[in-house]
């Protein structure tokens, strides 16, 4: 049996999918897009279920809607499970009316029914089922209530067959029938004739070509009669039908101020909303970087690289624990030495591989904490609200409110952030959004932020980390205003977003979300970082004539990497406080491959030089000070993004020329900003 799960965003769809499939899931991508394709199996019933992206309609306005529609129309499905937020029937049933126009059976799972009962809302399920012509099962995906009944209904096929109830006025129903008869055979999807006939009436982009002369005359008369175009008319009639059904089947208690309403008075206050958001994000980064980072960074470094003692730090408090660790790298190197391995082979493993891997692992606890905090903010409904609040600001900047989505996604990874600009319909707004998304520090850039914050701003590290994010916001605002003035644009597209009820976090959902993001980061970072760490080690450990640099006869100053760095060090002269530095230059250059590689390269170079850590005595980076470090970090955060992001940018802009213009502007801006900071550092010495 092949099933598909479909519903609005924040309807509990993911929770229901997890409850039905357990751990029998696999995640990939839909063809041509970066949107997750999640498929699971229900082994007991020998069934496959696909979790479709959260959508509000089957009109292809967004990539998610396009993916869902094409899947439903092209796949031979046995059943659609439509999950509905029972607390918001008017919004949720709009999609339901479209699904019931398809020639596939539909079972409606009324989720959050426990909240409906708690609110005192009474729904006559049997009567509503008869009105819609589909089986309805009340459930709570969070608690598991009703899931057994849902499974029994589905897999014992106790549900109503889809009879396509006619919900439109007679003249429109006649047009639908005429369209089906006129195109009796050559339909694109012969199994969904009613759905596609309605799409012809709506002049949907994929079906308007079928509106021939005979049908066009009939269509024009109906539009004149109702004084609306086809799409507006169908949407209006759907809501009229939903309201009639609701009035027949649902009884609401007297309206009272809910907890969400009370909380919104605080979190969406016109004055305090932004300060509260800043405080919340400050706490998130204090917990992630100052506490978790301070407690784990040195410990993980010691586990991999060895140490005589381990330093733990929380804010301004620090203490050395007398824990002597040989470290994985030295242990393996010693073992290789015992079996006769050469010095360069031992150095390759210890410095090139283990030290590079240590950098990735050392940031994992901070990322887990960050992912956890953000997942909690998302599942409680807070992030949807701050996005809604900031929408008004975006309009003043000449951007669509839909640009919020790429910026939020880009905070995780720039690649899907750029890809999600597909939701921005206006081409000019889309291009501007694509150009601005790379300014948002992604998870990979967190490695740079964490290192600089912890190394040079111990007491206020979390504030410095947060300052990079607010600096990014300032840069985006100024850039957007500049572009708005240049383009002289006044009209912007509309952004529609849902404000769900505040909910307590679901531990299972949060755990799965944090796990998936952490594993994805580690897989990507570990492979890329270790590979290029070995390359950096090779270039820094051999002279141009491939003599091994042992620290006595030859030093790192005679390495291939040094000559490469000398060739580009002029570019970073002002950024590094009017200093030519080959090591920092080649490390920054590797940010084009992956931003994590900047810090990994610095680590490998420092240890190849014989230093205990990046900024320790003997390291090429020992001269770094707070201002130099901040300038260096600023350049790496706001300059050209990684190659994956460049590929996504090229694809979405549909022009290599436009991509090069964007990255040239970003590179110039980052260089000017970082140079000004670096020069300022020279003057205040």
- Asked if the model's pLDDT at residue 68 lies above 90, the reply is no
- Asked if the model's pLDDT at residue 412 lies above 70, the reply is no
Domain ranges for the chain, please list them: 2-155, 171-239, 368-508
- Asked if the model's pLDDT at residue 382 lies above 90, the reply is no
Q: Are strands 310-314 and 317-321 parallel, antiparallel or unpaired?
A: antiparallel
- Asked if the model's pLDDT at residue 454 lies above 60, the reply is yes
pLDDT tens sequence across 206-221:
887 777 777 888 889 9
Q: What is the distance between the alpha carbons of residues 197 and 187, in angstroms, rounded to a whole number?
A: 10
- Longest Cα separation, the chain: 94
pLDDT tens sequence across 639-650:
888 777 787 788
pLDDT above 70 covers a percentage of the chain that reads 89
- Asked if the model's pLDDT at residue 598 lies above 80, the reply is yes
Are 549 and 411 in contact by the 8 Å Cβ rule? The answer is no
Residue 599: what pLDDT? 83
pLDDT tens sequence across 259-268:
888 888 888 8
Nearest to 386 by CA among 278, 543, 254: 278
As to burial, measured by CB atoms within 10 angstroms (0-12 exposed, 13-18 middle, 19+ buried), residue 435 is buried
Q: What is the CA radius of gyration of the chain?
A: 29
* Residue 187's pLDDT band (cuts 50, 70, 90): very low
pTM of the full structure: 0.58
- Asked if the model's pLDDT at residue 404 lies above 60, the reply is yes
Residue 80: what pLDDT? 92
The residue with greater pLDDT, 66 or 397, is 66
Write the CB contacts of 471 (distance below 8 Å, at least 6 apart in sequence).
634
pLDDT tens sequence across 331-350:
898 898 888 888 888 888 88
Residue 135: what pLDDT? 93
pLDDT tens sequence across 493-521:
555 555 667 788 888 878 888 888 788 77
Q: What is the distance between the alpha carbons of residues 639 and 37, in angstroms, rounded to a whole number?
A: 32
pLDDT above 90 covers a percentage of the chain that reads 13
Query: What are residue 214's phi and psi, to 5 degrees?
Result: -65, -45
Q: What is the distance between the alpha carbons of residues 544 and 526, in angstroms, rounded to a whole number?
A: 28
Residue 240: what pLDDT? 92
Residue 611: what pLDDT? 83
What three-state secondary structure class fits 541? helix
Neighbours of 567 (CB within 10 A): 11
Per the structure block, which two tokens stand in for 671? 């260089």
What mean pLDDT, rounded, does the chain reach?
82
- Asked if the model's pLDDT at residue 108 lies above 90, the reply is yes
The reply to whether CATH 3.40.50.1220 applies to domain 2-155 is no
Dump the DSSP string for 426-484: SHHHHHHHHHHGGGS--TTTHHHHHHHHHHH-STTHHHHHHHHHHHHHHHHHHHHHHHH
Residue 640: what pLDDT? 85
Residue 325 pairs in a beta bridge with: 307
Q: What is the distance between the alpha carbons of residues 250 and 247, in angstroms, rounded to a whole number?
A: 6
* Residue 96's pLDDT band (cuts 50, 70, 90): very high
pLDDT (mean) for 602-626: 84
* Residue 34's pLDDT band (cuts 50, 70, 90): very low
Per the structure block, which two tokens stand in for 264? 């919104």
Q: What is the distance between the alpha carbons of residues 681 and 685, in angstroms, rounded to a whole number?
A: 6
Residue 189: what pLDDT? 47
């Amino acid at each position: 049996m092949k099933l598909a799960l479909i519903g609005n965003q924040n309807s509990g769809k993911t929770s229901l999918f997890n409850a039905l499939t357990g751990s029998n899931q696999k995640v990939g991508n839909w063809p041509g897009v970066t949107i997750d394709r999640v498929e699971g199996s229900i082994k007991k019933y020998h069934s496959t279920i696909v979790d479709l992206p959260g959508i509000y309609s089957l009109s292809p306005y967004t990539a998610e809607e396009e993916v869902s529609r094409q899947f439903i129309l092209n796949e031979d499905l046995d059943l659609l499970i439509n999950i509905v937020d029972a607390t918001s029937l008017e919004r949720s049933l709009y999609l339901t009316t479209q699904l019931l126009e398809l020639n596939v059976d539909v079972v409606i799972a009324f989720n959050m029914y426990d909240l409906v009962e708690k609110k005192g809302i009474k729904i006559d399920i049997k009567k509503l089922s008869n009105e819609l012509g589909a089986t309805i099962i009340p459930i709570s995906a969070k608690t598991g209530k009703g899931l057994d009944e849902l499974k029994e209904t589905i897999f014992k096929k106790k549900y109503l067959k889809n009879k396509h109830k006619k919900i439109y006025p007679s003249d429109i129903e006649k047009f639908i029938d005429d369209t089906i008869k006129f195109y009796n055979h050559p339909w694109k999807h012969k199994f969904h004739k009613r759905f596609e006939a309605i799409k012809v009436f709506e002049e949907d982009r994929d079906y308007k070509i079928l509106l021939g002369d005979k049908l066009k005359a009939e269509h024009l008369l109906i539009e004149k009669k109702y004084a609306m175009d086809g799409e507006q008319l169908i949407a209006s009639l759907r809501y009229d039908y939903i309201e009639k059904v609701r009035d027949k089947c649902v009884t609401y208690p007297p309206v009272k101020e809910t907890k969400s309403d009370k909380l919104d008075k605080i979190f969406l206050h016109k004055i305090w909303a932004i300060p509260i958001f800043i405080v919340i994000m400050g706490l998130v980064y204090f917990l992630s970087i100052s506490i978790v980072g301070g407690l784990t960074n040195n410990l993980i470094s010691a586990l991999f690289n060895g140490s005589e003692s381990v330093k733990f730090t929380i804010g301004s408090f620090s203490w050395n624990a007398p824990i002597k660790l040989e470290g994985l790298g030295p242990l393996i190197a010693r073992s290789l030495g015992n079996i006769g391995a050469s010095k360069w082979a031992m150095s390759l493993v210890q410095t090139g591989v283990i030290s590079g891997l240590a950098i990735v692992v050392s940031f994992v606890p901070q990322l887990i904490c960050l992912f956890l905090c953000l997942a909690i903010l998302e599942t409680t409904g807070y992030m949807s609200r701050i996005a809604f609040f900031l929408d008004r600001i975006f309009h003043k900047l000449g951007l669509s409110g839909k640009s919020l989505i790429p910026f939020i996604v880009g905070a995780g990874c720039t690649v899907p952030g750029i890809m999600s600009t597909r939701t921005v319909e206006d081409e000019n707004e889309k291009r501007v959004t694509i150009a601005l998304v790379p300014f948002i520090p992604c998870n990979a850039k967190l490695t740079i932020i964490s290192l600089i914050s912890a190394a040079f701003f111990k007491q206020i590290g979390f504030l410095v980390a947060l300052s990079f994010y607010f600096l990014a916001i300032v840069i985006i605002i100024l850039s957007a205003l500049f572009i708005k003035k240049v383009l002289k644009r006044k009209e912007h597209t509309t952004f529609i977003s849902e404000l769900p009820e505040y909910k307590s976090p679901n531990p299972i959902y949060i755990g799965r979300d944090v796990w998936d993001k952490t594993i994805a980061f580690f897989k990507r970072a570990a492979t890329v970082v270790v590979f290029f760490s070995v390359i950096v080690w090779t270039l820094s450990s051999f002279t141009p004539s491939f003599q091994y640099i042992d620290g006595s006869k030859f030093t790192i100053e005679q390495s291939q990497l040094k000559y490469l760095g000398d060739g580009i060090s002029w570019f970073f002269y002002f950024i590094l406080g009017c200093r030519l530095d080959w090591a920092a230059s080649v490390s920054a250059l590797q940010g084009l491959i992956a931003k994590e590689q900047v810090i990994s390269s610095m680590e490998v170079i420092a240890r190849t030089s014989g230093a205990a850590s990046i900024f320790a005595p003997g390291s090429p980076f020992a001269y770094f000070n707070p201002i130099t470090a901040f300038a260096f970090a600023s350049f790496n955060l706001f300059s050209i993004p990684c190659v994956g992001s460049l590929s996504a940018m090229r694809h979405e802009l549909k022009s290599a020329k436009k991509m090069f213009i964007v990255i040239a502007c970003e590179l110039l801006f980052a260089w000017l900003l970082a140079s000004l900071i670096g020069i300022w550092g020279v003057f205040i010495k």
